[in-house]
Structure 1
Amino acid sequence: MDITYRYAEKKDAGLILYFVRELAVYEKLLDEVVATEESIEEWIFEKKKAEVIFVQADGKEVGYALFFHNFSTFLGRAGIYLEDLYVTPEYRGHGLGKALIKKLGSIAVERGCGRLEWSCLDWNTKSIEFYRSMGAKPMDEWTVYRVTGDALNELAK
């Protein structure tokens, strides 16, 4: 299998949304997806708030990684936060997920970033084992907090 990568372009908004929905099905969170092709075009390609890399097998997009820069005040430099990593079921087990993470690691090093990080659902033991096998360490002492929807609107008042 010939593995290649390519950065997403605005015309790929529909494909990105397809992969987002597929990932949400896998994570049992499809009911939370409200993204549209238009919102993906706006936030990724017009406002440039995230980037997407596709992994291709024999020229066909079979997975993606969506990521953006964050910043560590302790390191005094940017990092890369991996928001989504997904490979279609029929292409799993061929090293494509690992290849995508390695590609992101390479991008982080090329850009002078201090770290690459992501979150993983607690029940996803297969992914947790996969991440640990690559040297990733869980940040057990940290808890993610989130404010969304009505609570976010109320906070903003």
Structure 2
Amino acid sequence: MIRKATLQDIGQLSELFDQYRIFYHKDSDIPNAEKFLTERIENRDSEIFVAEHAGKLVGFVQLYPLFSSTRMKRYWLLNDLFVNESYRGKGFSKALIEKAKEMAISTDACGILLETGKSNDIGNKLYPSCGFELYDKVNFYEWTNN
């Protein structure tokens, strides 16, 4: 079952979020994961959907709002998608993406953007299979201060 995350999910969701961060070579930090996710839900900074199986959260997707000036519409940034290793290959990622697409349609957004590493073989197969197209007409740049 795919549903919107609530504050009651913070415990399990924080554990999944921690696994996600560890996957991206960050140190484990469940207390700050709880704080971060609680703030996102309370402040309505993002939309988080969870995949639940047999009463346990097994995956999540988090989207942040963006806007396209040229299209004069909202875009959604699919920033985080994660399914616990034990539940991969069972359709949870696709179901989470479909829920994200439904939300984009219901908010009259012009689309969903995402980025993934060139070495992410699973993601680079998953996203095209869900209707995403590789957009190579622009250069992507990043500036960070840490």
Q: TM exceeds 0.5?
A: yes
Q: Comparing 133-142 with 79-88, which one deviates more in the overlay?
A: 133-142
Amino acid at match of 1:24: R
Instruction: Compute the displacement of 1:82 (Å).
Output: 0.9
Amino acid at match of 1:122: K
- 2:120 maps to 1:109: no
Unaligned runs of 5+ in 1: 150-157
Instruction: Compute the displacement of 1:8 (Å).
Output: 1.4
CA distance in 1, matches of 2:55, 2:11: 18
Amino acid at match of 1:87: V
Tell me the number of residue pairs that the alignment of Structure 1 and Structure 2 aligns. 144
Instruction: Compute the displacement of 1:95 (Å).
Output: 1.1
Deviations 1:35-84 (A, max 9, x none): 44223322x13322112111112332110011121101121100111111
CA RMSD between the two structures: 2.0
Match of 1:66 in 2: 62
Amino acid at match of 2:10: A
Instruction: Compute the displacement of 1:143 (Å).
Output: 1.0
Q: Map 1:113-128; keep pairs closer than 5 Å.
A: 113-128=109-124
Identify which of 72, 75, 86 aligns with 1:76.
72
Distance 1:146 1:31, change over 3 A: farther
Deviations 1:106-147 (A, max 9, x none): 111111110011110121022101112222122332314132
Identify which of 3, 6, 9 aligns with 1:9.
6
Q: List, as ranges, runs of 4+ consecutive aligned residues in structure 1 with deviation greater than 4 Å.
A: none
- 2:38 maps to 1:41: yes
CA distance in 1, matches of 2:84, 2:33: 20
Report percent identity of matched pairs.
24
CA distance in 1, matches of 2:2, 2:77: 19
Distance 1:41 1:7, change over 3 A: same
CA distance in 1, matches of 2:5, 2:129: 28
Instruction: Compute the displacement of 1:89 (Å).
Output: 1.2
Unaligned runs of 5+ in 2: none
Match of 1:97 in 2: 93
Match of 2:143 in 1: 146
CA contact (8 A) 2:97 2:130 kept: no
Distance 1:91 1:39, change over 3 A: closer
Q: TM-score, normalised by structure 1?
A: 0.81
Return the index of the structure with the highest Cα Rg: 1
Please give the secondary structure, in 1, of the residue aligned with 2:27. helix
